[in-house]
Amino acid sequence: MTSISYLTNTLLPLHIRRFRPSLSTLSCSLASDVDPTPNSYFPKRGQTLELVCESLAFKGKGLCKVTQTGFVVLCDRALPGEHFIGRVTRKKGNYAEVTKVKTITPPRDIVDAPCVYAPYCGGCKTQNLSYEAQLRAKEEQVRDLLIHVGKFSLQHLQLHAVLKPIVPCRIQFHYRNKMEFSFGPQRWLPKESLQDRIVDDDTNENYALGLHAPGFFDKILNVDNCLLQSHPANKVLAAVQECWRDPQLGFSPYNVHSHKGFLKHLMLRTGRDVTTDQPEVMVNFVTSSYKPELLKFLVDKVSVFPEVVSVINNVNTSVGNTSVGEEEYTLYGKSSITETLRGLTFQISANSFFQTNTYQAEVLYKLIEDCAGVKGDDSEIVLDLFCGTGTIGLTLARSVRHVYGYEVVPQAITDARLNAKINGIQNATFVQGDLNKIDENFGKNFPKPDIVISDPNRPGMHIKLIKFLLNLRAPRIVYVSCNPATCARDLDYLCHGVEEKNIEGCYKLISLQPVDMFPHTPHIECVCLLELQ
């Protein structure tokens, strides 16, 4: 199965190698703390360099060039147009990674980030870049990956208007319906704040509840308010922060090194009551053991909010960092919350998958429906791959003969069947199975589809599944991707084939529509329409 390491070691260098370096990118005077012009074209670890950020690349890192040589490096939190000093931290083949030391000239389109945690939190790396510039950067990244990884010519993309302008997100803050915060025994502080630390490291006041500091699995940035989650969820977070450190309550945060402690995670999910359209909040305390009497104070504290209709306790006894428990208990209210999407009602349990941005999911699913181009005469068969809880397939089921959905997660399949029942949909069949491990028997238990929907996770589709689709030869494929790099690779395979494996492509890329699902983050969603040649 394709992994993220494959992306960083293969796709990313390929993408970067296409940027042909010039020997004089900019004629700027060198800063005094920059090393003299390097003897070698390839910089060394620890070397300081003068850099200019040209664009944003994989995971939102700045793609930069050394001003003296044009050698390409990546820098976290560097923004387009920024002229800065960077220190080389890693050297990887044809590119290097640097850490920003200081800015010489600020980026183009810079704005003031409204969140106080933006300089340190890993969630909103581009909050200080204007939203219009964020959209341009994401659109450029998709275009470059289509050309350099997908092997589609720029002339072809422009001539046939294949690449569409990115769809912006109307709501740029408070759009997330799910956030997960972690408890920790010692809060992480940025270097500039360490001198202000007056709290004894051994006191409860140094406990943290928040988000992981970028690059650390064991360091927590304490967060009192997150501008990405809903207002009711922020009220719950503030209420928990107000009291959980009180030593008289007996709470202890989980220590990932000693594997001791009670509180692991606080997960907050927001939905809507389908009758009143008012927000519903689920509070999920993930703990290392089941002690409802200990949690009672926190349950009482958060249940006073009228929006809180469910308090859940997931018990996770493993040493891993997952929030999914081996056991689940309902401590207050309902065991699930509801949400509506494209006119359908969905039950959302503590660990079920649901699109994180409900507002933009409406836009995304409308685009998928338009790409699918269903006739509406109840004659077509839809194959819904990586169906999750059935949200996409169920929105199409009203206009087709039958939907067959496949998903590896058993709980997701259970939720998909429940969602079909809730909405009175009887022409949808959901099957649990690993699409990365299909054999020659796959496809024999459903009729040939007219439309295939494929919505894989970040690693994209396994070559076995791509070979199956090429042999299946469905008239239309709607490929929905949360990773434009693996998306471009899979489009290349489906359209151009894989010569070294004697695989011939048989599809034509009709359109690719980027969608901004998560403003201020590097994530990009793409909806692609392919038609059989």
Q: What is the DSSP letter of 10?
A: I
Q: How far apart are CA 90 and CA 44, in angstroms?
A: 8
482 is annotated as an active-site residue: yes
The answer to whether 355 is annotated as binding is yes
Would you say 369 and 391 are in contact if contact means Cβ atoms under 8 Å apart? Answer: no
Q: Give the side-chain half-sphere CA count within 13 A for 501.
A: 11
Vertex 486 angle, CA 481 and 488, to 5°: 85
Sheet with 428-432: strands ordered across: 428-432, 402-407, 381-385, 451-454, 476-481, 525-532, 507-515
Helix intervals (H) in 323-389: 358-372
Alpha-carbon distances, residue 329 vs 181, 311, 391 (angstroms): 19, 9, 26
Q: How far apart are CA 204 and CA 208, in angstroms?
A: 9
- 33 forms beta bridges with none
Structural tokens at position 112 = 């003031």
Would you say 208 and 253 are in contact if contact means Cβ atoms under 8 Å apart? Answer: yes
The answer to whether 407 is annotated as binding is yes
Contacts of residue 276, Cβ cutoff 8 Å, sequence gap at least 6: none
Query: Of 124, 482, 495, 506, which residue is the catalytic one?
Result: 482
The answer to whether 262 is annotated as binding is no
Q: How far apart are CA 483 and CA 58, in angstroms?
A: 9
**Which residues participate in the annotated binding site for S-adenosyl-L-methionine?**
355, 386, 407, 455
**Which residues participate in the annotated binding site?**
355, 386, 407, 455
Where in the sequence numbering do the catalytic residues fall? 482
